[in-house]
Amino acid sequence: MNIFNYYLEKIKILLNDLNKEGQIILPSSLEGINAEIPPEKFNCDISTNVAMVLSKINSKSPFDFAKSLSGKIKSLDEYIDDVSVAKPGFINIKLKPSFWTNFISSIIKIPNTYGVNEEEKKNKYLVEFVSANPTGPLHVGHCRGAILGDVISNILSFNKHDVTKEYYVNDYGNQIINFTKSVYSRIREIKFNEPFPADNEDLYPGDYLIDFANNIINSNNNLNFENYEKISAELTKLSIAEALNLIKRNLNSLGIEHNNFVSEKSIVDSKEVEKVIDFLTKNNHVYKGKIKAPKSEDDPNWVEREQLLFKSTDFGDDKDRALQKSDGSWTYFASDVAYHKNKIDRKYDYLINILGADHAGYIKRITSSVDALSNSKNKLICKVSQLVKLIKDKKPFKMSKRKGDYITVDDLISEVGKDATRFIMLNRSSDVELDFDFDNVKDKSKENPLYYVQYCYARISSVYRHLNIDLNDDLKISVSNFEYGSDEIKIFKKISEWPKCIDAASKKLEPHRIPVYLYELASQFHSYWNLGKDKPEKRFISEDKKISDDKLIFLKVISNVIRSGMNIIGVETPKKM
């Protein structure tokens, strides 16, 4: 039950009735009217801006119009205790304690679906994330984007949308040629004692290549490693397979599993680039022309050559973009356009791309191409995952490693674990840099948000365990005769905000809202728990080792929301800590 939508609909029905009676004038749409969570300074449960939206068309000040509506809103149903007006014209609704008993009764019956927006149109989403080059292990720079994409997918799935998680494998181009040569050099090092050419800047230096080389040698006795040219095609396949296996293990250790892995090479080999160029040409979106050097390019030898260009400026980009290089080969952008045409042809309602901070400048050109290909704006949504700074002992932290010149996902997980990695990576909006403080992550206090939320669930579990009741079992208790006080209702009010949190996280693709909400709920619960130190009536287990049914339900409702939110994040809810 979304109490804000519930009362918003009641208010809209009231407005239409008043309009029919000639008491007020309404615009053609009531879209701007809302019912929201009120600021803490207001002693109320719901706040609406209806008077401010409608005051001008009714030739009244927002405050006076709010006064004229407040009495009518108070009569909407028997659960409204009081209605007040706050400047400049907010109408604030206070609900009776009996409302909260009815509210708890309704949501305790739907523990797994409370928060789902059942009325929202359900769409088909393709979420593409990670898509790191298949040349080695995932590093911390990939980690935040991987978790961001996974949890966005989880939120959309929770809200009953059809979601596919996809990884685009960049297995075509010079970086793959250099990667294969790097593996070959490691094979030569192992089999023929040839020193690895560490001074060759084109080769990948990481020791993980030794593992790849050994696996390939041991599994492919029929291959002759004497001549690179003869085995390069087969060795490329084997090397990419090794890298993808490692990447999938990295993702699995983060709790991430993709539905699809789509190969860039397969896109190119199946002539999808040529097909998309033909499509764009027929629709007058490409031309032969010259582009100036990038603003950051100081190369005096830059030559403006005639190239095949996409009319990106027709769709809001700052310049047109090259589809073909001077040697006739396709640019990375061209194959990316073909890949997005492939996505569009699979009939998704929305495409979501999770991009690293270094790809933020790429957004406009690719969204422009999707606009051109689909004849539809806003079909592609790009979310940027900003940088992560690792901090330990108040200073930048670098761990020992054997993977190359970066910190890997496995390094991070071995240091703090999967749960901490996922929760903390989500704890701030993805569009701002994140400080990952190892000291706070390992601290068992309020400073560690993951611990604080998990400890909330563990405390509730301890009460149920004392009574030999499984916290996951349904309770056969009638809620209708309960009477909760202001301390309990304060937490129920927070519980009532859960559907709005899910709705905002789903529509705005902002998963950080989930851990922030859970931390706030956990904080309120811990404060309530501490009341029992001075107020025996607030203790969950009495001196005679019993617990009242109303307190069992109170705990159950809180635990349901905590578990639901942690499932979305992909984090455990331990029963003991």
Which string of DSSP letters, residue by residue, matches 46-101?
EEE-HHHHHTTTTTS-HHHHHHHHHHHHHTS-TTEEEEEEETTTEEEEEE-HHHHH
Q: What is the pLDDT of residues 104-129, one digit of tens each?
A: 999 998 988 999 998 889 999 999 99
Sorted by sequence, the CB contacts under 8 Å of residue 531 that are 6+ apart come out as: 487, 538
d(CA 157, CA 506): 9
For residue 89, being part of any structural domain is answered with yes
d(CA 281, CA 408): 43
pLDDT, mean over the chain:
91
For residue 108, being part of any structural domain is answered with no
SS3 assignment for 130-169: CCCCCCCCCEHHHHHHHHHHHHHHHHHHHCCCEEEEEEEE
Query: Checking DSSP bridges between strand 162-169 and strand 260-263, what pairing results, if any?
Result: parallel
pLDDT at residue 401 in the model: 43
For residue 428, being part of any structural domain is answered with no
Q: Which of 452, 462, 474 is nearest to 562 (CA)?
A: 452
For residue 266, being part of any structural domain is answered with no
Listed residues 95, 129, 155: the one ending a domain: 95
d(CA 347, CA 379): 11
For residue 431, being part of any structural domain is answered with no
Count of domains forming the chain:
3
Structural contact between residues 515 and 509, judged by C-beta atoms closer than 8 angstroms: no
Q: What are phi and psi of 82, to 5 degrees?
A: -155, 155
pLDDT at residue 78 in the model: 93
d(CA 166, CA 164): 6
For residue 267, being part of any structural domain is answered with no
Structural contact between residues 367 and 354, judged by C-beta atoms closer than 8 angstroms: no
For residue 546, being part of any structural domain is answered with yes
Q: Is 118 exposed, middle or buried (0-12, 13-18, 19+ CB in 10 A)?
A: exposed
Which string of DSSP letters, residue by residue, matches 356-402?
EGGGGGGHHHHHHHHHHHHT-TTSEEEEEE--EEEEETTEE-----S
d(CA 162, CA 120): 13
Token representation of residue 165: 């998680």
Do 81 and 192 fall within a single domain? no
3-state helix vs strand vs coil in the chain, percent to 5: 50, 15, 40
Listed residues 200, 227, 253: the one ending a domain: 253
| Residues of the chain under the 50 pLDDT cut | 400-403
Q: Which of 406, 393, 287, 276 is nearest to 340 (CA)?
A: 276
Do 83 and 178 fall within a single domain? no
Token representation of residue 565: 């939110």
CATH number at residue 40: 3.30.1360.70
Domain that holds residue 33: 3-95
Cα Rg for the chain, rounded, in angstroms?
Answer: 29
Listed residues 226, 253, 280: the one ending a domain: 253
Which string of DSSP letters, residue by residue, matches 186-198?
HHHHHHH-PPP-T
d(CA 223, CA 229): 12
pLDDT at residue 558 in the model: 97
For residue 525, being part of any structural domain is answered with yes
Do 563 and 462 fall within a single domain? yes
Do 454 and 565 fall within a single domain? yes
CATH number at residue 483: 1.10.730.10
pLDDT at residue 307 in the model: 86
- Residue 475: DSSP 8-state: P
